[in-house]
Amino acid sequence: MVRKRRTDPPGSSGEGSESQDTGAGRGAQRPTERAPTAQQGGGGRGPAPQPQQQPQQGGRGGYGGGYPPQGRGGSQPRGGMAPQQYGAPPEYQGRGGQPRGMPPQQPMGTPPESGVRRRGGGSMTGGRGGGPTSGGQSRPPIPELHQATQAPYQAMVSPQPVQSGKPDQSYSQASSSSQPPEPSTGQVIHQLELLSVQSEGAPTQAIQPIPPSSKSMRFPLRPGKGSTGTKCIVKANHFFAELPDKDLHQYDVSITPEVTSRGVNRAVMEQLVRLYRESHLGRRLPAYDGRKSLYTAGPLPFTSREFSITLVDEDDGTGAPRRERPFRVVIKMAARADLHHLGLFLQGKQADAPQEALQVLDIVLRELPTARYSPVGRSFYSPDLGRRQPLGEGLESWRGFYQSIRPTQMGLSLNIDMSSTAFIEPLPVIDFVTQLLNRDVLARPLSDADRVKIKKALRGVKVEVTHRGNMRRKYRISGLTSQATRELTFPVDDRGTMKSVVQYFQETYGFVIQHTQWPCLQVGNTQRPNYLPMEVCKIVEGQRYSKRLNERQITALLKVTCQRPRERELDIMQTVHHNAYHEDPYAKEFGIKISEKLAQVEARILPPPWLKYHDTGREKDCLPQVGQWNMMNKKMVNGGTVNNWICINFSRNVQESVARGFCNELAQMCHISGMVFNPEPVLPPYNARPDQVERALKTRYHDCMTKLRPQGRELDLLIVILPDNNGSLYGDLKRICETDLGLVSQCCLTKHVFKMSKQYLANVSLKINVKVGGRNTVLIDALSRRIPLVSDRPTIIFGADVTHPHPGEDSSPSIAAVVASQDWPEITKYAGLVSAQAHRQELIQDLFKVWQDPVRGTVSGGMIKELLISFRRATGQKPQRIIFYRDGVSEGQFYQVLLYELDAIRKACASLEPNYQPPVTFVVVQKRHHTRLFANNHHERNAVDRSGNILPGTVVDSKICHPTEFDFYLCSHAGIQGTSRPAHYHVLWDENKFTADGLQSLTNNLCYTYARCTRSVSIVPPAYYAHLAAFRARFYMEPETSDSGSMTSGAAAARAGAGSGGRSTRITGANAAVRPLPALKDNVKRVMFYC
């Protein structure tokens, strides 16, 4: 199934275009699916304080003046942290003084049987128990893991009215939250590891142990439904399915000789049912999964039985006898599938989803479409379901639909959505190759590169021969011959007599091969290959293309799949009609009834948050309208500083005067937007050739530093002008700048340099500001400390994602990225770290790790620990709450990911100081699902945005959501084109005890703080940033053949350990170490370089 991707994929366009898109319209979409083309991404460890910052005593100044002091000397803060003096050392130590309204905490001895395991930093006692009862006796054992209960959320003192006033200049221009002086990393880590916690005014959450296995694990129950926002009704593409009252039976099937093809298995079973349904199967119509299981509605008249079935090959048109294949089928009673438990689960009376029963119903409803169409995953495609569209290079798109049965609050529901995917056009192979190479292939011989491209595209593809009249035998291509057809010979008898392929075809079939200079296709196995000339082969219809599509094909496919909400809804309705579930013999047999109406669901539209801009701008704050706003009359809330910058131009078409003019306009726009930006570059723009990117960057950087270093100055920014089609130039440039030179850069495409639109320049300035450590905007509720469970005490918000290589890339590693907020209470700046790990490994391996150091002994590190330390350094406080948004996890991996990653978070905290266990909320963010929401009435003007989609802020937590667990759909962005896909948030762990309103509002509000555009985005920014960072890191992997020598070996990096940033990743289960990514430079890590 092809996911919605951006129409102008970033890889081709550098990042200038990205910023054009984000602000002018597309930022609402994610840049791409997991990874069609690499664009952004990154690594590094997070914004650390700027040296020029003054320690601010007693409150923060800045913004509108008048906010209460935030625990820097001065008075007691409102929300719960005790004041901390600026001179305090950076270690994680308990602070004196109790926060208001919290009981003093005593350590609680946890009895051994409560299942608390020892963690990295010594025994983990009950840590933050829920305020012990008199005498602080030990907690009773925990029989099964339940989420900790907590006293109701403590209302904070009502916020004081915001007085507007001149902001404290030192703050409005500084680029990070109020910061203490910065100690060295080594010192911090050392002190953190030595310290023991003192009794601390702790929140009232009990920290629970992580259970040893998923069996004892329960995801949190829904804490009631949300009520904030304007109520409305939306329609969802879910169709109510009535639970059958049949007695379901499961039978094991064994077919011998065993075949791997489901198609053959199905053909055997189809034949068996046709022959024996009346006589031996008690007239039952079974549903078969194509492998080992058969299901019936009611028992068969035997417990075990053997059948003999013969399949006869298709008539090949030669009049020769057709090949017969005998099979032995044994059907044996296995179990009764229990629908009773499914009923209890749907009513919320049982916690575990009975997967077995759901699977049976799914298989039953897939029987008919599997026979009618081409199944791909959970979707079905056919050339009859809509027009075929050519995608170029021998591919075409087929329309189809996705179908899946899901347990929801309204009972069972059938989720149906439209989809399209790429199939190989059923062309003669010669025509396919002509299209693939996009030229007249007969004009000149094939180059080596051509042959590689042909081989890659055709390997595994089925072809049929055309030189034998009606006899259309089918073969699977295994490769290409290295010699031309005219040079190929093969033995024709046991004596080793050789005959040429050309001669054989002439004599045997009277077929004269025209293109003797071409290679032959190799078919069959590689030990005894058969040779077929390309001109006698045609590609068999109905083969899905599963490899990577190029930019043009992605664009063509997007055009086909992109549908306005009304059209999509009509198509879905038509599909349901066309599938006629009420006439489906299998659905009838099993008593499954499917409604033909879209589910109508109660929804709410959450209000947008107020955003703060700088007090020197004409508009000091802003209330977004329908998910968007702009920078007119506003200045960034913390403008960054760019004193020293240069420009390098890699585009032949851009003259020096044009480059100079563009840089001048950009510098002016940055200045107008609130940055301190020197209008003059250190050196004039420099023209360079794209094939000499490394030389050009290093030479110019060296020339520049020769001028700056004697004055003790650094280079703040590199502006780069790129050709519109720049191949690997963008990635090489980012790798060299961020891992070698330690330089942040902003790339701009030639087309934008010539156009120079104000909108474009404004968007680029937003990106530049966060790359040099500024902040574009902040939630007013964050400043006035009004965000429940975030504002009352220091809170860190993480985002994490893993991107996997494209299908077809068998060996390249997956890349994990974790970002974490580095400012509190604002929560807008995120530092990012990246790490390579085993191919297609979904669990993030480097969250916490321990290794042996020859000098220091056992050392611990990893991404979480490093980000906690940098938060502590940036804010002067340690997080007392963790919110972890995890992207890219499918439902089947929920338990695994939670067990592994929550354990790593706990160990990372304990390694900083014994008993340091801030409460964690772990939320999975999903975009790859098929639920779509439509306006109840498409004609109602104020119910839809300009694209016809539901309004930003629409949240659904009833009816189509999980029967008992804490999940919700949130459409936080305004649509641009096509049908908006709401994000699905599922809470897997919640020690902070969020209410439904609390988490839904926090998530929606955060979507308005995305740095790269003035729109709310479709997934929560920390998850989005992690996605960008992982994408950027793909560029850091040099090709294996690289001779530049800048990559370290796995072993060397392992010795270097986390402190130096050379990250080696040990693969669990395998002994190989993944080649680590080159380390990011420290000054790059501190800022949002991946934006």
**pLDDT tens-digit series, residues 512-535:** 998 888 899 999 877 777 889 999
Q: What is the pLDDT of residue 387?
A: 84
**pLDDT tens-digit series, residues 915-959:** 999 999 999 999 999 999 999 999 888 899 999 999 999 999 999
Percent above pLDDT 90 for the chain: 63
Q: What is the pLDDT of residue 530?
A: 85
**604: pLDDT strictly greater than 90:** yes
Q: What is the pLDDT of residue 958?
A: 95
d(CA 663, CA 660): 5
d(CA 47, CA 892): 35
The answer to which of 95-109, 225-239, 397-411, 772-786 has the lowest mean pLDDT is 95-109
Q: What is the pLDDT of residue 49?
A: 40
Q: What is the pLDDT of residue 1039?
A: 60
Name the most confidently modeled range: 39-43, 181-185, 502-506, 708-712.
Answer: 708-712
**367: pLDDT strictly greater than 70:** yes
CA distances from residue 496 to 491, 503, 508 in whole angstroms, order as listed? 5, 16, 19
Q: What is the pLDDT of residue 156?
A: 39
d(CA 46, CA 871): 8
Q: How confident is the model at residue 1068 (pLDDT cuts 50, 70, 90)?
A: very low
**814: pLDDT strictly greater than 60:** yes
Percent above pLDDT 70 for the chain: 76
The answer to which of 309-318, 339-348, 714-723, 860-869 has the lowest mean pLDDT is 309-318
Q: Which residues pair with 297 in a beta bridge?
A: 248
Q: How confident is the model at residue 10 (pLDDT cuts 50, 70, 90)?
A: very low
The answer to which of 125-139, 570-584, 602-616, 842-856 has the lowest mean pLDDT is 125-139
The answer to which of 16-30, 298-312, 385-399, 707-721 has the lowest mean pLDDT is 16-30
Q: What is the pLDDT of residue 1020?
A: 98
| Number of alpha carbons in the 13 Å side-chain half-sphere of residue 592 | 30
Q: How confident is the model at residue 132 (pLDDT cuts 50, 70, 90)?
A: very low
Q: What is the pLDDT of residue 716?
A: 96
The answer to which of 366-375, 495-504, 563-572 has the lowest mean pLDDT is 495-504
**139: pLDDT strictly greater than 70:** no
Q: Which helix (H) or strand (E) holds 861?
A: strand 857-861
> Which is more confidently placed, 133 or 735?
735
Q: What is the pLDDT of residue 317?
A: 57
**232: pLDDT strictly greater than 60:** yes
Q: How confident is the model at residue 213 (pLDDT cuts 50, 70, 90)?
A: low
Q: What is the pLDDT of residue 999?
A: 98
Mean pLDDT of 421-436: 94
**680: pLDDT strictly greater than 50:** yes
**pLDDT tens-digit series, residues 241-295:** 998 888 899 999 999 999 988 989 999 999 999 999 999 999 999 999 999 999 9
Q: What is the pLDDT of residue 320?
A: 65
Q: Which residues pair with 834 in a beta bridge?
A: 817
Query: What are the backbone angles phi and psi of residue 336, rounded to the nearest 5°?
Result: -100, 125
Q: What is the pLDDT of residue 590?
A: 94
Mean pLDDT of the chain: 81
| Length, in residues, of the chain | 1091
- Please spell the DSSP secondary structure of 886-948, one letter per residue: EES--GGGHHHHHHHHHHHHHHHHHHHSTT----EEEEEEE--S---EEES-TT-GGGB-TTS
d(CA 532, CA 535): 8
Exposure class string for 861-894: b at 16+ Cβ within 10 A, else e:
bbbbbbbbbbbbbbbbbbbbbbbbbbbbbeeeeb
Which one-letter DSSP state was computed for residue 674? T
**pLDDT tens-digit series, residues 198-207:** 333 334 445 6
Mean pLDDT of 459-463: 93
Instruction: Name the token pair of 677.
Output: 């930006």
Instruction: Name the token pair of 493.
Output: 């008898």
Q: What is the pLDDT of residue 211?
A: 57
CA distances from residue 997 to 158, 604, 614, 926 in whole angstroms, order as listed? 19, 11, 29, 19
Model-level pTM?
0.79
d(CA 989, CA 534): 58
Name the most confidently modeled range: 131-145, 148-162, 576-590, 1063-1077.
Answer: 576-590
**633: pLDDT strictly greater than 90:** yes
**Nearest alpha-carbon partner for 505 in 527, 525, 530, 528:** 530
